[in-house]
Amino acid sequence: MSVTKSVCIMGVTGSIGKSTVDVVRAHPDRYRVDTVTAHRNVAELARMAIELDARFAVIADPAFFDDLKSALSGTDIDAGAGENALIEAAERPCDIVIAGIVGAAGLRATLAAIRRGAIIGLANKETLVCAGELMMAEVRKFGATIIPVDSEHSAIFQVLDRDATDKVERILLTASGGPFRTWSMADMASVSREQALAHPNWSMGAKISIDSATMMNKGLELIEAARLFPVPEPQIEILVHPQSVIHSMVEYVDGSVLAQMGTPDMRTPIAYALGWPDRLELRLPRLDFASIGQFSFEAPDTGRFPAIRLAREALRSGGSLPIVLNAANEVAVAAFLAGRIGFLDIAKSVEHIMAAHADEKLLDIDHVFVIDDIARRSAEDLISQTAR
């Protein structure tokens, strides 16, 4: 007989959050949602908290606290607001925390969960990009467990022999190539927000969809993989696989290549993280290899997609540059989504802000926030000067 586990879903109103709710709902005997959080979508947060019979609901933007309290009045769900309440949510003794906040905004809460030794299903890759080494040191210190939710990292986690990481020759991190995989620079210069949001295979939140279109997502994932797995950076290769069926592969010294495959549906890696070390039954459509017909592969084009090159440079710096890459990218993606800059300006802005930064050795988490803040302000200034 299985024991019911309590779940904290950070970012419940988002794409990862909603997929997590779907998986939890498919296993009501095994999971109970204790805590849910969102940023500003207070109506949806309250609706989901009530429907899931949660104990604690947190809205990150304190301006919505009164709205949350009134939406939850008459229930016995506690309401919280602001950064401290997010941390309180992460510190509750839930059996598993799904880190589904987007951006570096998720860092403090994820760190709070790590410091209570939690099991964390980590989707929020930006936190590992910004503070991965410091976070992994805290993971070791506090005995926390990180199960990657990002599809590629879940794949690698599933096929990596953790007792023989010295026998790994390469990690092959697969990329769809995004909606503009075959487009010229001239055509990419004038793409619309809607075109950039239309990922060919995955249904995701806006920020990661734009990251996939610039291929910055793969750059962030390269850094994420280097933080999560003890495999040196030159041995992590990016491979374009437009079908998004092979979610990544690990090649060993004997030439064997182990791949994890599945339909492009985030409920599969989320279920893996929730169920780990067990596997949950998930009644989703299965891969139909005969109708897929063919898999194809290409080398990434870092000329048209410079974000991959920038991320590798940032990773190689060994210090603060990944924080700058991430912060400038978050600001530039928001500016593109707001119609302030063009699509190609996203990577150009990141490159410009990175070039102006002298890499520093990271001292502690507060240092991460200082660099993040400076980089965001520089990116804002740059975009304000160049905005169309």
Ligand X SMILES: CC(=O)[C@@H](O)[C@H](O)COP(=O)(O)O
Ligand Y SMILES: NC(=O)C1=CN([C@@H]2O[C@H](COP(=O)(O)OP(=O)(O)OC[C@H]3O[C@@H](n4cnc5c(N)ncnc54)[C@H](OP(=O)(O)O)[C@@H]3O)[C@@H](O)[C@H]2O)C=CC1
- Known binding-site residues for Mn(2+) equal 150, 152, 221
Question: Both ends of the chain: CA-CA distance in Å?
Answer: 61
Shortest Cβ 340–Mn ion spacing (Å): 26
Q: Which of ligand Y, ligand X, Mn ion, none is residue 11 near (CB under 5 to 8 Å by kind)?
A: ligand Y
Q: Which of ligand Y, Mn ion, ligand X, none is residue 218 near (CB under 5 to 8 Å by kind)?
A: ligand X
Instruction: Tell me which residue has its CB nearest to Mn ion.
Output: 150
Q: Which parts of 152-191 interact with ligand X (CB under 6 A)? A: 152, 175-176, 178
The CA R_g of the chain, rounded to the nearest whole Å, is 20
CA distances for 258 relative to 150, 231, 250, 268, angstroms: 18, 15, 5, 18
CB closer to ligand X out of 107 and 311:
311
Q: Which parts of 146-165 interact with Mn ion (CB under 5 A)? A: 150-152
Q: Which of ligand X, ligand Y, Mn ion, none is residue 214 near (CB under 5 to 8 Å by kind)?
A: none
DSSP-derived 3-state class of residue 180: coil
Q: Which residues are annotated as a binding site for 1-deoxy-D-xylulose 5-phosphate?
A: 125, 151-152, 176, 199, 212, 217-218, 221
- Candidates 95-103, 108-116, 145-153, 188-196: pick the segment binding Mn ion (CB under 5 A): 145-153
CB closer to ligand X out of 131 and 239:
239
Peptide bond into 277 cis (omega under 30): yes
Phi then psi for residue 231, to 5 deg, are: -125, 125
Pick the closest to residue 122 from 107, 137, 133, 134 (CA basis).
Answer: 107
Q: Which of Mn ion, ligand X, ligand Y, none is residue 38 near (CB under 5 to 8 Å by kind)?
A: ligand Y
* DSSP strands (E only) in 184-316: 236-240, 246-252, 257-261
Shortest Cβ 298–ligand X spacing (Å): 12
CA distances for 76 relative to 49, 69, 191, 229, angstroms: 11, 11, 48, 42
Q: Which of Mn ion, ligand Y, ligand X, none is residue 175 near (CB under 5 to 8 Å by kind)?
A: ligand X
Shortest Cβ 161–ligand X spacing (Å): 22
Shortest Cβ 52–Mn ion spacing (Å): 26
Pairwise CA distance, residues 17 & 108, whole Å:
18
Among positions 266, 310, 334, 346, the unique one binding ligand X when judged by CB under 6 A? 266
Shortest Cβ 124–ligand X spacing (Å): 12
Site size toward ligand X (CB under 6 A) is 12
For ligand Y, the binding residues (CB under 6 A) are 11-17, 38-41, 60, 100-102, 105, 123-126, 150, 202, 204-208, 266
Question: Residue type at 239?
Answer: L
Shortest Cβ 297–ligand X spacing (Å): 13
Instruction: Tell me which residue has its CB nearest to ligand Y.
Output: 14
CB closer to ligand X out of 90 and 270:
270
- Strand-strand pairing, 168-175 and 246-252: antiparallel
Pick the closest to residue 100 from 208, 27, 194, 226 (CA basis).
Answer: 208
CA distances for 106 relative to 125, 227, 304, 354, angstroms: 9, 17, 30, 22
Pick the closest to residue 99 from 116, 119, 79 (CA basis).
Answer: 119
Q: Which parts of 113-152 interact with ligand X (CB under 6 A)? A: 150-152
Pairwise CA distance, residues 174 & 368, whole Å:
29
* DSSP strands (E only) in the chain: 5-10, 31-38, 56-59, 78-81, 96-99, 119-122, 145-148, 168-175, 236-240, 246-252, 257-261
Shortest Cβ 81–ligand X spacing (Å): 30
Shortest Cβ 123–ligand X spacing (Å): 8
- Residue 202 interacting with ligand X (CB under 6 A): yes
Q: Which residues are annotated as a binding site?
A: 13-16, 40-41, 124-126, 150-152, 176, 199, 205, 212, 217-218, 221
b/e per residue, 131-145, with b = 16+ CB within 10 A?
Answer: bbebbbebbeeeebe
Binding residues for Mn ion (CB under 5 A): 150-152
Binding residues for ligand X (CB under 6 A): 150-152, 175-176, 178, 202, 208, 212, 217-218, 266
